[in-house]
């Protein structure tokens, strides 16, 4: 075709929203870095013709810039234009996995990101989907296949549905990823782009599952407080919920928790060179709760013998009574204020925190009060671990493909104690080799589960609260992208704390560098203790 003809046909194509073959630069446009010459609406409509096994498209629609109303009626303003794909996946007769894939119509940053979940999942996170497209990502999320099962009776209703448990364990995340990546390639006519996954807690476990089971799914994975050792995690939560209920006298009212926490901070705080209420190395603190045990009567400023025993059990963590081995890391020094989740009044259901998982094994008569931390723990592993645990130390396939993992962990996390993440990192070091080449951990002093706490804890770990997207010094996701795309491994990330720990107030009151484990941020001895510039990353002494 002549150059003049191409010019004419291309002008027509722009109007008719069709691609023109045979002109220079237009051949096989699906392999080009640029999208085809089609309107955003046409490109979105075209995705409806896609066919995926066991998949039913419910929505394929172009959403114009402006307001978006989520299925629950919540409205989001200033939303960029995007193509929305909602589908239900049925890999088995008992599966119902909902996914959504959102594709920015303009200003795509050339990356796809999969989002993780929390708890037993059961819903789509529209807040994070919105945040993702606002940052230019093609983004996807899944309810993990538990929404319909969770509608009545909570996660206990998954008992007797082994396929749904597999969906929740790992299958839903992988299938979401395969479909999302295919749709991204179609919509943008580009096959060469980077894929990332980010999630905390259950989402962190999803990330580890992906690296272990499906190493080619993602180029980079951002993992927070991973619940990858799932059976042991729930055993730990049950242990912690049972500890203050061994006897009526074993309970820890808030005033006693506060007394304990203040004593722990006083003993553990100075390890980083400055007394500022932040504990940077809880594992090195030798605080003994016995110093608080009442000598005479309980005057409110001491712990009873039963309460002291409760504290010891929480710091110890669950022990396999048959082998004497630790099942899961115990609570860290400094996490005490978070123990309120273990001391609330027992609800009418009689459950403690997240013991639902054991009903899947032992049936409706299960009670945490009768759990055997030897035989019952092993029985639960035998039934569930192959599908819900991601504990293999062998990440060689992911590493050899060039994959990178950044982990972050709150040192005051009461649900996933920081010692557990270190255990896994050490295991990977032995099972895979030099971990710093592809896997790095950033501990966050003072941070509770995934976020929060009275210390600098904002460092871009969530799409909707990222400090400065695109700056690897203050946005841990951007740090991961630079590592994957430019080979620059992160050494530190800046964390910020806001007035009243409220990001919406916009006033930063304290900053602190987060250092690659095992280094910690140590005060230089001069300068403002509220400024990150007064700290250096050093190996622990």
User: Which residues are annotated as catalytic?
Assistant: 201, 413, 449
Which of 75, 101, 73 minimizes the C-alpha distance to 88?
101
- Whether the CB-CB separation of 230 and 361 falls below 8 Å is answered with no
Sign of the C-alpha dihedral computed for residues 461, 241, 345 and 304 taken in this order: negative
Nearest 5°: phi and psi at 220?
-140, 140
Separation in Å, CA 14 to CA 39, 105, 169: 8, 16, 46
Separation in Å, CA 235 to CA 109, 317, 320, 432: 41, 10, 10, 27
As a whole number of angstroms, the distance between CA 512 and CA 497 comes to: 9
Which of 435, 537, 526 minimizes the C-alpha distance to 495?
537
Q: Is 526 exposed, middle or buried (0-12, 13-18, 19+ CB in 10 A)?
A: exposed
As a whole number of angstroms, the distance between CA 160 and CA 162 comes to: 6
Dump the DSSP string for 398-422.
HHHTT-EEEEEEETT-SSS-HHHHH
Q: Return the HEC string of 439-490.
A: EEEEEECCCCCCCCCCCCCECCCCHHHCCCCCCCCCCHHHHHHHHHHHCCCC
- Whether the CB-CB separation of 99 and 142 falls below 8 Å is answered with yes
Q: CA geometry: angle at 274 spanning 269 and 277, to 5°?
A: 40
Separation in Å, CA 108 to CA 134, 182, 197, 222, 366: 10, 16, 17, 20, 50
Tell me: cis bond preceding 518? Omega within 30 of 0 counts: yes
As a whole number of angstroms, the distance between CA 211 and CA 213 comes to: 6
Q: Which two tokens stand for residue 262?
A: 């203040």
Q: Is 178 exposed, middle or buried (0-12, 13-18, 19+ CB in 10 A)?
A: middle
As a whole number of angstroms, the distance between CA 278 and CA 261 comes to: 12
Q: Identify the three-state secondary structure at position 139.
A: strand
Q: Half-sphere exposure (CA, 13 Å, Cβ side) for 15?
A: 5
As a whole number of angstroms, the distance between CA 214 and CA 205 comes to: 13
- Whether the CB-CB separation of 190 and 33 falls below 8 Å is answered with yes
């Amino acid at each position: 075709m002549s150059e003049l003809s191409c010019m004419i046909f291309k002008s027509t194509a722009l109007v008719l929203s069709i691609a023109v073959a045979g002109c220079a630069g237009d051949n096989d446009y699906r392999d080009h870095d640029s999208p085809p010459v089609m309107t955003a609406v046409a490109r979105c409509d075209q995705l409806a013709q896609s066919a995926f096994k066991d998949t039913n498209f419910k929505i394929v629609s172009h959403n114009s810039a402006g307001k978006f109303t989520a299925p629950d009626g919540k409205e989001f303003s200033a939303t960029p234009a995007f193509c929305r794909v909602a589908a239900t996946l049925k890999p088995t007769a008992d599966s119902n996995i909902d996914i959504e894939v959102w594709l920015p119509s303009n200003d795509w940053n050339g990356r796809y990101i999969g989002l993780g979940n929390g708890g037993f999942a059961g819903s789509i996170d529209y807040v994070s989907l919105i945040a993702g497209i606002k940052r230019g990502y093609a983004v996807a999320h899944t309810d993990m296949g538990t929404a319909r099962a969770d509608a009545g009776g909570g996660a206990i209703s998954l008992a007797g549905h082994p396929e749904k448990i597999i969906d929740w364990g790992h299958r839903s995340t992988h299938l979401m990823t395969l479909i999302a990546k295919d749709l991204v390639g179609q919509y943008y006519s580009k096959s060469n782009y980077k894929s990332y996954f980010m999630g905390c807690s259950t989402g962190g476990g999803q990330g580890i599952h992906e690296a272990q089971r499906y190493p080619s799914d993602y180029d980079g994975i951002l993992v927070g407080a991973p619940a990858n050792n799932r059976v042991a995690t729930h055993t730990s939560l049950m242990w912690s919920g049972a500890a203050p209920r061994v006897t009526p006298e074993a309970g820890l009212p808030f005033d006693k928790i506060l007394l304990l926490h203040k004593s722990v901070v006083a003993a553990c705080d100075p390890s980083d060179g400055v007394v500022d209420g932040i504990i940077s190395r809880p594992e090195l603190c030798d605080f003994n709760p016995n110093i608080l045990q009442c000598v005479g009567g309980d005057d409110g400023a001491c712990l009873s013998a039963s309460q002291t025993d409760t504290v010891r059990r929480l710091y110890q963590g669950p022990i396999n009574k048959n082998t004497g081995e630790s099942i899961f890391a115990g609570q860290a020094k400094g996490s005490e204020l978070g123990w309120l989740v273990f001391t609330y009044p027992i609800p009418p259901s009689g459950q403690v925190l997240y013991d639902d998982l054991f009903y899947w094994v032992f049936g409706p008569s299960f009670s945490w009060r009768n759990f055997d931390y030897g035989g019952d723990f092993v029985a639960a592993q035998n039934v569930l671990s192959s599908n819900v645990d991601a504990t293999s130390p062998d990440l060689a396939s992911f590493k050899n493909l060039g994959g990178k993992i950044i982990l972050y962990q709150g040192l005051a996390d009461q649900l996933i104690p920081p010692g557990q993440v270190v255990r896994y990192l050490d295991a990977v070091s032995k099972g895979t080799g030099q971990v710093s080449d592809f896997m790095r951990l950033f501990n966050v002093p003072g941070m509770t589960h995934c976020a929060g706490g009275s210390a600098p804890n904002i460092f871009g770990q969530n799409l909707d609260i990222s400090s400065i997207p695109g700056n690897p010094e203050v946005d841990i996701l951007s740090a991961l992208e630079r590592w994957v795309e430019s080979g620059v491994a992160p050494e530190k990330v800046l964390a910020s704390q806001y007035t009243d720990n409220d990001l919406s107030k916009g006033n930063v009151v304290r900053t602190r560098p987060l250092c690659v484990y095992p280094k910690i941020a140590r005060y230089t001895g001069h300068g403002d203790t509220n400024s990150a510039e007064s700290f250096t990353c050093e190996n622990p002494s």
